[in-house]
Structure 1
Amino acid sequence: MIRSLPLLHRIAGTRVVVIGEGEMGEAKKRLVERAGGTPCSETEAHHAKLAFIALDDEREAMAAARRLSDKGLLVNVADRPELCDFTTPSILDRDPVLIAIGTSGASAGLAKQLRLRLERLLPQSLGALASKLETSREAMRARFPDGSDRRNALDGALVEGGILDPLNADSAKHVEQWLADADEPAGSQSIEIHLTSDDPEDLTLRQARLLGTVDNLLYEASVPVSILDRARADALRRELPFDEPLTGLTVILRRA
């Protein structure tokens, strides 16, 4: 079970309350401005939906959080996760790709160090690939009219070693070639997985990949939630027996 629901909130052109001075307050203002928002004072809270509070005094911070929450704002209080409606992750920026690493307020330092590790792994070209895929959206829809076929084709291209491997610095240059040469959609298919363990860490790489790309997930009642949660969150989930026709990739989970 996750502690927080990760969301990417668009604040460009909107006001965000920032209360606080000094290093912490300045950092929050930079964060807001970096995302295109406009830092404002508490007097303009009626124009805002979000607020950052960066005050050293705990009582002042609690009072400010209460006032702004009462006005309907979502509040972040620096260094006091118990007072936060939302927390700010450590951000890896490969515009338009954003990778947010959070710990639900447990340790900002840990999130930062994880981001620094990923910085070394992910090429700057990742943003170019994302932008190319964005501008090719209509071409992808024309090539793969069915949403499931389109998703599966893209998954196959983006896998490690695929023509659009995100870690390959030249992948953005290959989008047109992929669209021209991509295989015809495989159509609906059903794959059974017989689980030998209740531990999701024991899934094979292939099994994990299938769960991550599945359109429909059918499972025996005894399959643990920890395994089910490895599947796409928006996949159709139904407990066996299930007899209705399905399209796309269907994975059936059974206990061995």
Structure 2
Amino acid sequence: MRSLPLFHRIAGRPVIVLGNGPMAEPKRRLVERAGGLVIDEEKAGVQQGARLAFIALESPEDCEKAATRLRDCGVLVNVVDQPDLCEFTTPSILERDPVLLAIGTSGASAGLAKQLRLRLEALLPADLGKLAQLLSDKRKEIRAKFPDGGERRQALDEALGQGGMLDVLDEKSAANFADWIGGRAPQSAQGKVVLYITSDDPEELTLRQFRLMGSADLILYEEGVSSAILDRARADAERIRLGDSEVPKGTQKGLTLILKRQKEA
């Protein structure tokens, strides 16, 4: 992974945008759309505590000089159309407020990111943001219904997954929320499941394996299971290599996956 994707909250905060014309204006609109305060002057921006800067000056040499000065002041810079001078890039954004999907290529091709966004636009329901807001507003009710954290994750995974009552690609999901939160708690995945890994390539995981790795609370893996495979598990799932550490007993209420290398015939 060449870049670390982050969502930076800039509402009410100064952001430097240097330059005029068709290269700078989109950056101004982007900052304003996120609630940031556009500062047009380098010195004033630094004095006001800006931590981000977009540079779109006409001369490449002026861009490089401004980037060096701002970087020396501790400001992260984005130089339009000069990826080698950028410390951050702006993704193509798909918005279903409060849901944001950011598609980036580490500066390789803005056109590719745009086309990926357009394809995804056709897939995501218009009211996906409403579903997200319901999940936020009803957090206490969800916690009360599923007090155990592992059980809660499993229930949400089942509901939000393909075919679930809150399927994220179903236009009716937001309308189904009241029935889901008021109905009987679905049986969530528990216990231990053994997965036999046949390849170091995560693209060769089956759909079932991929879903289980995205839901598991604890990953036990044999030596030889590649890091590329382990990276497909939930980021906050505990990982223990078999034989290295003592496996916790009696404390894991959610789903435990045991990853083993498929032995060659």
| Structure 1 and Structure 2 fold alike (TM over 0.5) | yes
- Residue 247 of structure 2 aligns with which residue? 243
Larger helix percent: 1
* Amino acid corresponding to residue 260 of structure 2 in structure 1: R
Partner residue, 2:46: 45
With normalisation by structure 1, the TM-score equals 0.96
Please tell me the residue identity of whatever aligns with 1:180.
G
**Cα distance per residue 1:36-62 (max 9 Å; x no partner):** 001002122232111111123211111
Q: Which among 170, 178, 193 is matched to residue 168 of structure 1?
A: 170
- Residue identity over aligned pairs, in percent, reads 57
Q: Per-residue deviation at 1:181?
A: 1.7
Q: Secondary structure at the match of 2:24?
A: helix
Report the RMSD for the aligned CA atoms in angstroms.
1.3
Secondary structure of the 1:76 match is: strand
Q: Residue 111 of structure 1 corresponds to which residue in structure 2? A: 113
Match for residue 62 of structure 1 among 64, 73, 88 = 64
Residue by residue, what CA displacement relative to the aligned partner does 1:90-148 show, whole Å, maximum 9, x if unpaired? 00011010000000111111000100111111121111111111111110011111111
Work out whether residues 154 and 188 of structure 2, in 8 Å CA contact, stay in contact via their aligned partners in 1: no
Alpha-carbon distance, 1:187 to partner: 7.4
Residue 202 to residue 134, structure 1, CA distance change in 2 (3 Å): same
Report what 2:74 is aligned to.
Answer: 72
- 1:17-47: CA deviation from partner (whole Å, max 9, x where unpaired): 0011101111110000000001002122232
- Distance in 1 between residues matched to 2:224 and 2:127, nearest whole Å: 44
Query: TM-score with structure 2 length normalisation?
Result: 0.92
How big is the shift at 1:7? 0.4
Measure how far apart 1:5 and its partner are. Answer: 0.6
Give the counterpart of 1:255 among 254, 261, 264: 261
| Residue equivalent to 1:17 | 16
Residue 188 of structure 1 and its aligned partner are, at CA, apart by 4.4
CA distance in 1, matches of 2:162, 2:75: 42
Distance verdict in 2 for CA 1:182–1:100, change over 3 Å: farther
1:6 matched residue in structure 2? 5
Query: Which structure 2 residue ranges, 5 or more long, are not aligned?
Result: none
The one-letter code matched in structure 2 to 1:251 is L
Deviation at 1:170, TM superposition (A): 1.5
> Which consecutive residues of structure 1, in runs of 5 or more, have no partner in the other structure?
none
| 1:194 matched residue in structure 2 | 196
Aligned to 2:231: 229
